[in-house]
Structure 1
Amino acid sequence: MERVLSAALTGARRYPVVLAGLLVLAISLLFEATGEPTAGGLVAGAFAAAVGAWTAIGMVRDLLRGQWGLDILAVTAIGATLAVREYIAAVIIVLMLTGGGALEDFAAGRAKRELTALLERAPRVAHRQTDDGVEDVPLDAVRPGDVLLVRPSEVVPVDGTLASSAGVFDESSLTGESLPVERTEGEPVLSGSVNGTGAVLLLATTTAADSQFSQIVALVQQAAESRAPVVRLADRYAVPFTVFSLALAGLGWWISGSAVRFAEVLVVATPCPLLIAAPVAFLGGMSRSAKNGVIVKGGAVLEILSRIRTAAFDKTGTLTQGRPELVEIRPESGLDPHELLALVASAEQYSSHALAASVVEAATNRGVDLLPVESAEEVATNGVSAVVDGRKVHVGKRSYVTDMLGAEVAEPPLRPGELAVYVAVDSEPGGVVVLRDAPRAEAKATLARLKRAGAAHVLMLTGDAEATARSIAAELGVTEVRFGLLPLEKVEAVRAAAPRPVLMVGDGVNDAPVLAAADVGIAMGARGATAASESAGAVVLVDDISRAAKAVEISQYTVKIALQSIWLGIALSVGLMVVALTGVLPPVAGALLQELVDVATILNALRAIGGRPHGRLARDF
């Protein structure tokens, strides 16, 4: 009961005109019931006239700025009902007009539930361990290297690694995975995840501003404030609808010879759905995407995703696992396999490429000690040059090592799916390290889902050699492959791709330029790509490429529901106007029916949160 009263008081403070309208309506009906209709009419008429005049002032200001809106219909309807002394109907129109904001807030709040849940859960303080115990500090005061205490059921404040022996965390709000995730000492823990039933220690690896959760919160705020093209399209419907409504009301007056008929038609011609339904549907779609581990940066991104006709993919780390396994070491120039692996791994630890991490991991697993590195420089997408234990080492693509040596490097025989990392040591060919990067288990099904969703043209873009690229493409059923590409060439390939719009899916780090060049880019952000990557329109927070297909499916359903809600509101309003044209719909009854139309249309728009697409895609939700 206390919560209900609190909510009522909050609503009264936020929407005083709505509260006043309800009181005026109650007083007017009370006067009617006690046989004093004149007094009730004076109260209702004065209130409706005051609100109508205030709205008219705003309407005139908008018209002077060249902006048309549905306020014209509302003001005209209020004036008409007052003129024919339908005071109760005038108050109901005022309630419909002023209550639109309250209805929109309610619907938008419901639609943004998953988005706002992230914002509401954002921690404000952290428990930092010191020599004297544990102290609470503002989140902004946390620095990398701080040891933090995370109590049971608390939200992890910053990105870090687990300093306790083990812990269980709920990452569902970040990744959409419903099952708790177990972590052991030294493993990474995402900020924004919820600790389990036992307190744990966390070694902070970032500041609060640089943590994944803070960047997701920034994305959520950006998404919630965005407007999609279809929402602006709904605004443009206001002009022809206004003209049509006034013309139909005028026709009713002319046919009947009564101004009452004019008022009866206009009473049902104030479709709030045009202003509310589309934004609510898009907020619902973005909320649903967030629940499924995809942060979409705005309604415009959803709108473009719904029309995708071409899907382009990076290979390494996107269509493939991104964690290649070392399968063979082939040394040259008198080196032995152990020595070659030590040199390569020592240099590759300074590279951000996915292959480099695999080489370093393989060396560690084989008990190979890394050598001291005097200097290292990464040449983006090509390789690494380093001075390792006094020896000049070049590691990377065949073309890169060839350029460094000034002589052609032979291409070794490789089995399907294998790739070679070429090495030069002290200006001599050092051999190759052979790895195999297997396709993701979900990749083939994801491509099939995108094709069903309308992206009939699929291409793979990679900087890898032809043999490796074609092997992976054949395994996944991709017919168009571009291999040996530099970043600029990937950008040119996406710009030239047709039909459009073009979706590009990549890792969000090395693929930043091509993600920006596409009509919409989706970054796989689970492996180090910052969630706030400005190059992508959406970020997948879980290491699962199928979420890209899910985002497309959700966007298509969202746009369908938004347009359906707009036309539903228009159709029902036009139907009521035609009925009112015959004179069988009194103003008060028409005003109440229009309120029901508003509610029905908003409820339909809310289906974007949890409704299911029809057909074969339904089972994927």
Structure 2
Amino acid sequence: MPNRITSVHWLKATVKFLWGKKDVGIALLALICIILYLLLCLGAQQPTEGAERVLWGAMLIGGAPLLIELLIGVVRGQFGSDLLAGMSIATAAALNEPLAGTLVVLMLSGGAALESFAVKKASSALEALAKRMPSVAHRKVDNSLVNIAIDKIAIGDLLVVLPHECCPVDGVVVQGHGSMDEAYLTGEPFQISKSVGSAVLSGALNGNSALTVQAVRLAQDSRYARIMQVMQQSQQQRPQLRRLGDQLGMAYTPLAIAVAAAAWIYSGEALRFLAVLVIATPCPLLIAIPVAIIGSISLSAKRGIIIRDPVVLERIGTCKTMIFDKTGTLTYGKPSLVEQIVAPSLSSNEVLSLVASLEQYSKHPLATAVIQRARANGAVLIGAESVQERPGQGMSGKVGDRLVRVTSTKQLLAQQPDLLPLLPPASTGLECVVVIDHEYAATYRFRDEPREESASFIGHLSPKHGFEKLLLVSGDRHSEVAYLASQVGITQVYAGKSPEEKLQIVREHTAHGGTVYVGDGINAAPAMLAA
């Protein structure tokens, strides 16, 4: 008995799922009815009345919603390659040819089902963004934490952002010290140090330390929510792109109808009209295009590329402008040690070995960059003692018999201003200072380096694919953006741009021709929707 109940529930759930996916349900119905018709006709010289009723049921149940959609499209001036299929179904019903009509229903609904699957496989950008944000926040009340819904946060509330959580609202740090990853929001590739008084953005990913934040905006007014709103507006304002098959169908359909009408008039048999319509129904376009789209999406996904809208696969060949985001797209999205300025009395390998030996006790991204460079150089790391990492003060410890300290230029000069003449000129990028035995030892500079293949990829776009404009747009500092552009071969750059400004840049270029936007990160999402 339980097995029977389980089977019934499974059957009901399956039917509900299939009919919830209209095109899938119609295609399966048509296929099953055609198979049943062929089985009923086995051994019979003529199709039986019962067999034809099966086809009539499939053609009417499956064809009616398809025809209604086509009629609505024709009224709106939106029709293409599927119009011939709709006319074939209607003509088959009028001439009592249910087999021909059901076959066309199968082709039309099957192609639509495959295309729906492709769109589903591409996923929804807005849903993915919404899932990133936490659904609750931790409000600090006296000495305890109370979980509240995001929309219940009031300005002035004290909220605790736990390690590795997304910040729920824009605010200011009032207690604690740590770092946050804002790359998806601002384009800044490095984790940003946060201490008392630091501003934090909703959607930023917290590091390893809990922070107490005072809300300065409501959730719906915060940075992350504004990006979501811009995305929704961009999606609504995005012009409707016609599929390649529809464009071909608009020119091909009138010609096919004219030929079918001529065959009817010449022969005097209405069946000839149906025959020409069925033959002219563009089965390759109805089936092959969705299959090709699914294959392209699957192949792209294996290479880490998510295609939001399958239509771009048909339109990308006509685009002449390509706009690139910086962090994580043309770069690795993580810092690399690119320059070591060492005091004359020391060797770079000796200093690097000492610093890496100390930094192996830290989880800071710059520490990871130093350790990677040291290991690449074959340095031997040894243990450190008395390791201390104070918030905002850097890191210090004893490596062997040497006292090693790694800190910022600002902190060093605040404590040892006499070392200023020994320091190199300040750079606009990210850097740290190394002090060994209380003496200046080195300055390390870091950058988010371009991917190994970025320059060659940029270089082949114009000669091989006809792109006339290549732009780099980023929320990062101008010096960093200009450096990357010079490394990969892009001459036109926009630096320090917010998601709203990126969106405006894309719209300006899209107004003059097809534009491709390549990026990753939430801060690039509105611009990607508009391209």
Q: Output the TM-score relative to the length of structure 2.
A: 0.51
* 1:42 to partner: Cα distance: 2.0
Q: Which of 118, 129, 133 is equivalent to 1:107?
A: 118
Q: Does 1:97 align with 2:118?
A: no
Q: Which of 478, 494, 499 is equivalent to 1:505?
A: 494
Letter in 1 for 2:87: T
Q: Is the 8 A contact 1:183 1:189 kept in 2?
A: no
* 1:141 to partner: Cα distance: 3.2
Return the alpha-carbon distance in structure 2 between the equivalents of residues 228 and 16 of structure 1.
Answer: 26
Return the alpha-carbon distance in structure 1 between the equivalents of residues 427 and 36 of structure 2.
Answer: 84
Deviation sequence 1:498-551 (CA, Å, 0-9, x none): xxxxx6522216995994795269xxxxxxxxxxxxxx97876499xxx99xx9
SS in 2 for 1:453: helix
SS in 1 for 2:140: strand
Q: For the structure 1 residues 239 and 292, does the alpha-carbon distance in structure 2 shift closer, same or farther, using more than 3 Å as the test?
A: closer
SS in 2 for 1:452: helix
SS in 1 for 2:242: helix
Identify unmatched segments of 5+ residues in structure 2: 1-5, 42-46, 336-407, 416-423, 429-444, 474-478
1:216-231 to structure 2, matched below 5 A, reads: 216-222=227-233, 231=242
What is aligned with 1:272?
286
Q: Is the 8 A contact 1:311 1:457 kept in 2?
A: no
Q: Is the 8 A contact 1:28 1:40 kept in 2?
A: no
What is aligned with 2:372?
none
SS in 1 for 2:285: coil
What is aligned with 1:129?
140
Letter in 1 for 2:120: G
What is aligned with 2:213?
203
Q: For the structure 1 residues 457 and 542, does the alpha-carbon distance in structure 2 shift closer, same or farther, using more than 3 Å as the test?
A: same
Return the alpha-carbon distance in structure 1 between the equivalents of residues 298 and 184 of structure 2.
Answer: 16
What is aligned with 2:276?
262
Deviation sequence 1:264-320 (CA, Å, 0-9, x none): 41455483369968998999999999x789999x969x959941289999xxxx9xx
Return the alpha-carbon distance in structure 1 between the equivalents of residues 485 and 254 of structure 2.
Answer: 58
What is aligned with 2:460?
452
What is the aligned residue count? Answer: 394
Q: For the structure 1 residues 19 and 144, does the alpha-carbon distance in structure 2 shift closer, same or farther, using more than 3 Å as the test?
A: same
Return the alpha-carbon distance in structure 1 between the equivalents of residues 425 and 471 of structure 2.
Answer: 19
Q: For the structure 1 residues 9 and 138, does the alpha-carbon distance in structure 2 shift closer, same or farther, using more than 3 Å as the test?
A: farther
Q: Which of 111, 117, 126 is equivalent to 2:128?
A: 117
* 1:217 to partner: Cα distance: 3.3
What is aligned with 2:248?
237
What is aligned with 1:483?
none
Return the alpha-carbon distance in structure 2 between the equivalents of residues 172 and 239 of structure 1.
Answer: 45
Q: Does 1:307 align with 2:320?
A: yes
Q: For the structure 1 residues 94 and 167, does the alpha-carbon distance in structure 2 shift closer, same or farther, using more than 3 Å as the test?
A: same
What is aligned with 1:79?
90
Q: For the structure 1 residues 509 and 307, does the alpha-carbon distance in structure 2 shift closer, same or farther, using more than 3 Å as the test?
A: same
Q: For the structure 1 residues 299 and 17, does the alpha-carbon distance in structure 2 shift closer, same or farther, using more than 3 Å as the test?
A: closer
Q: Does 1:8 align with 2:21?
A: no
Deviation sequence 1:475-497 (CA, Å, 0-9, x none): 769898xxxxxxxxxxxxxxxxx
What is aligned with 1:45?
56
Q: Is the 8 A contact 1:417 1:472 kept in 2?
A: no
* 1:111 to partner: Cα distance: 0.9
Deviation sequence 1:568-611 (CA, Å, 0-9, x none): xxxxxxxxxxxxxxxxxxxxxxxxxxxxxxxxxxxxxxxxxxxx
Deviation sequence 1:169-201 (CA, Å, 0-9, x none): 7x8987999x997977567766446668x8834
* 1:78 to partner: Cα distance: 1.2
* 1:129 to partner: Cα distance: 1.4
* 1:453 to partner: Cα distance: 1.9
Q: For the structure 1 residues 212 and 77, does the alpha-carbon distance in structure 2 shift closer, same or farther, using more than 3 Å as the test?
A: same
Q: Is the 8 A contact 1:24 1:47 kept in 2?
A: yes
Identify unmatched segments of 5+ residues in structure 1: 322-360, 369-414, 420-436, 462-467, 481-502, 522-535, 560-621
Deviation sequence 1:21-74 (CA, Å, 0-9, x none): 644653564465345732121232254246545654554554455444344312
User: Percent identity among equivalent residues?
Assistant: 23
Return the alpha-carbon distance in structure 2 between the equivalents of residues 59 and 134 of structure 1.
Answer: 57
Q: For the structure 1 residues 189 and 48, does the alpha-carbon distance in structure 2 shift closer, same or farther, using more than 3 Å as the test?
A: same
Deviation sequence 1:387-431 (CA, Å, 0-9, x none): xxxxxxxxxxxxxxxxxxxxxxxxxxxx99999xxxxxxxxxxxx
Return the alpha-carbon distance in structure 2 between the equivalents of residues 85 and 73 of structure 1.
Answer: 18
Q: For the structure 1 residues 232 and 87, does the alpha-carbon distance in structure 2 shift closer, same or farther, using more than 3 Å as the test?
A: closer
RMSD: 6.5
Q: Is the 8 A contact 2:163 2:209 kept in 1?
A: yes
Q: Output the TM-score relative to the length of structure 1.
A: 0.45
Return the alpha-carbon distance in structure 1 between the equivalents of residues 325 and 519 of structure 2.
Answer: 16
Letter in 2 for 1:41: E
What is aligned with 2:394?
none
Q: Is the 8 A contact 1:78 1:90 kept in 2?
A: yes
Q: Is the 8 A contact 2:325 2:472 kept in 1?
A: yes
What is aligned with 2:509?
519
